[in-house]
Amino acid sequence: MATSNTNTLSTYIYTPLSPEAEDEIRLLHLKPAANKDDPIKFTLHPARLSDKPEYEALSYTWGDPKDTRPVYCGGDGAILNVTISLFTALKRLRLPDKTRVIWADAACIDQSNIPEKSIQVQLMGRIYSQPSRLLIWLGEDTSGLEGLHQCIAQGLKMLPPDEFDQDPLYEHATRVVRDAWVSWHVSRLQDCSISLCSLCSC
């Protein structure tokens, strides 16, 4: 997977997941970028869900699968084409000074490997139930969403900590959101028209 020169770059080739590890996934290690226009670089690393790895799960609308952008994947910077939706999400979510560990299906699953895709889809319930945080990316266009943050803030004021036991409420709300989002993601309802980048602490 070495690159020959700046104009001719090799295509990234996935290393197969272990057939003996039924709960093995890949985690995307997103490299830091000091400038927003720096190229997107990441590496993919195998991990077992049973080992409770630390990661954030990213969910997003796929958009047009034919509308892709190149990113640099692997230690030798091979090219992997991802949808523009994932491209913009990774560009926005990368940190300036440290690596961020993310699970994103389009990159972490070998999309050309049908048997692998089938196994990984069955693991999505566990993948979305174990992250330290769930990242929801619905695009960069926030038109029509003016006042949303104020609305959320007002809603939170309706749950004062001195009147409600927040932990059970938080746990239940988290479970409902995750279950609903996993169902949405697996069924590939890609007709969502809302555009927003939100980070949901889970």
63 band by pLDDT with thresholds 50, 70 and 90: confident
Can you tell me the distance from the alpha carbon of 66 to that of 139, in angstroms, rounded to the nearest whole number? Answer: 17
Read off the pLDDT of each residue in 3-32 and give the average, rounded to a whole number. Answer: 85
Residue 157: inside a domain, yes or no? yes
Q: What percent of the chain has pLDDT over 70?
A: 65
Answer whether residue 13 is part of any domain. Answer: no
pLDDT score of 45: 97
Report the first-to-last Cα separation within the chain, whole angstroms.
37
Report pTM.
0.70
Q: Is residue 144 part of a domain?
A: yes
Chain CA centroid to CA 65, Å: 16
**Chain position carrying tokens 């990441």:** 42
C-alpha distance from residue 5 to each of 2, 38, 78, 139 (Å): 9, 19, 11, 33
Work out how many domains the chain is built from and give that number: 1
Q: Is residue 182 part of a domain?
A: yes
Any domain includes 104 = yes
pLDDT at 40: 97
CB neighbour list of residue 162: distance below 8 Å, 6 or more residues apart = none
Domain that holds residue 99: 24-201
Q: What is the pLDDT of residue 188?
A: 38
Average confidence (pLDDT) over 55-65: 87
Residues 6+ apart with CB under 8 A from 28: 42, 43, 44, 101, 102, 103, 104, 107, 108
Q: Is 68 helix (H, G, I), strand (E, B) or coil?
A: strand
Q: Does a structural domain hold residue 18?
A: no
117 within some domain: yes
The answer to the question of residue 19 being in a domain is no
